[in-house]
Amino acid sequence: MMMLLLRKPCRIAVATVVLLAPEAGAFYTMPPPTTTTNSVTSMLSRPSAATRQRHPISSTCRRRSLAPLRMAASSDAAAAAGGDDDLRGKVAVVTGSSRGIGKGIAVTLGQRGCTVYVTGRSVGGNTTDKEIGGSLEETAAEIEAAGGKGIPVACDHAKDEQVKALFERVESEQGRLDILVNNAFALGPGDQLQAKFWTQGADAWDSLITVGLRSHYMASCFAAPLMIKSVKDRGGKPGLIACVSSFGGLAYSFNVAYGVGKAGVDRLAKDMAIELEEEKVAVVSVYPGIVKTEKMKSLMTKNPAEFEANTGIALSSPMETPFFTGRAVAALAADPEILKKTGKVQIVAELAKQYGFTDVGGDTPPSIRSLRFLLPTYLFPKILPEGTKIDTSSVPDWLLPMFIMANGKPPS
């Protein structure tokens, strides 16, 4: 028996279900609890006196910390991701790394010993985001502080000649390339993430597809020959191309151009993997969860109510730091059997359990397809009094199948 709890959660099209024995085993991938959840009320009921301290639910909402994320790598990063020297000597390119997820990946790879070329348009005192700031020089400095070598390269990934020059420089200076992270992304004029497609027209499409998809293809085109050569020079040790995508490639999220772009990234990774497999270069599509980037934190802080209304994301939602994605990419790059994962979507939170790493501070955020993420993010805010604190540890960490994640409609 399957109980439908929420058909249309905000912005991520999923059907959220509570699975009742004996059918539950067909749907979740985490081990079931020793007691069966027979109704959603058992998750939401007031805890007994004996368990209230362990699973407190109070009327006071304790917001997640919005303190600025310290991007400098901490000492626990290496231990959490399997050691600090297994990537030493490798060369990486991380596109779009002035801030956000790209910066988190670049600094983490540097902390693991890589030489990291960081690319983007925020360089030389100029930033593409006046409010948030961030620059390639800042990212490179944090890579150096973390123990790696950071090399900032100004590159507009919408311009093929600049992308080509980037990889020619890498070959000239390093003679090898082991890791490419395709992360460059642009929203377009006005950053109208929620607007309908007929109001956005060509501008949003051109920005999201040209920088968010086409640039991934072109960077991979210029990188592949050098990566293939590097594999042979290293005696067959595999290389890695990681394309940063999202669940927007699977189900409607934000707007039409965004979803088409992310779906294209997933297909790009899948098809490049077929052609590069015999060359021992793995290609994966990486799905972070909700990431507390500098931009995200700014929006949450300025107007929390407007943020929740515009994004469909509750402030109580489980969130990740950019370092969490960085640790996932580092773990993939260090995996000698990475070719077993080539061509597939890799969810950051699920990689954390596979490889045994955590987020900054020791947290392990749930997968974006886990009930532990979905219920606190989309169901509980709708049925609980405003300001209720939600203890997510009492929610089962069961994963919904990808086909369920792909089947829903956006909220009405």
pLDDT digits (tens, 9 = 90+) for 177-189: 999 999 998 876 6
Pick from 345, 387, 385: nearest CA to 369: 345
Of 184-188, 343-347, 397-401, highest mean pLDDT? 343-347
pLDDT(55) > 70: no
Q: What is the DSSP string of 289-354?
A: -SB--HHHHHHHHH-HHHHHHHH---TTS--B-HHHHHHHHHHHHH-TTGGGGTTSEEEHHHHHHH
User: What angle, 0 to 180 degrees and rounded to 10, lies between the N-to-C axes of helices 256-276 and 215-233?
Assistant: 20
What's the rounded Cα separation, in Å, for the pair 86 and 97?
Answer: 22
Is domain 91-365 in CATH 3.60.21.10, yes or no? no
Residue 318: is it exposed, middle or buried by C-beta count within 10 angstroms (0-12/13-18/19+)? Answer: buried
Per the annotation, the verdict on 258 as an active-site residue is yes
Confidence (pLDDT) at 293: 80
Residue with tokens 């005192």: 125
Pick from 28, 8, 4, 5: nearest CA to 407: 8
Residue with tokens 């709890």: 5
Query: Which tokens sit at 192?
Result: 């109208």
Query: Which tokens sit at 411?
Result: 């909220």
What's the rounded Cα separation, in Å, for the pair 103 and 139?
Answer: 6
**14-23, 243-252, 324-333, range with the lowest pLDDT:** 14-23
pLDDT-derived band at 378 (thresholds 50, 70, 90) equals confident
H/E element, 286 = strand 281-287
What's the rounded Cα separation, in Å, for the pair 99 and 321?
Answer: 12
Residues 6+ apart with CB under 8 A from 235: none
Number of C-beta neighbours around residue 229 at 10 A: 16
pLDDT tens for each residue of 2-52: 333 333 333 333 333 333 333 333 323 333 333 333 333 334 433 344 443
Terminal-residue alpha carbon distance, the chain:
27
Confidence (pLDDT) at 57: 31
Residue 347 identity: I
Cβ distance 274 to 343 under 8 Å?
Answer: yes
Between strands 2-6 and 16-19, the pairing is antiparallel
**81-85, 157-161, 191-195, 332-336, range with the lowest pLDDT:** 81-85
Pick from 400, 287, 386: nearest CA to 13: 400
Confidence (pLDDT) at 324: 98
Pick from 266, 109, 97, 264: nearest CA to 183: 97
Structure pTM? Answer: 0.79
Choose the catalytic residue: 258, 287, 355, 378: 258
* Alpha helices (runs of H) in 95-245, residue ranges in sequence order: 100-111, 136-145, 160-174, 197-209, 215-233
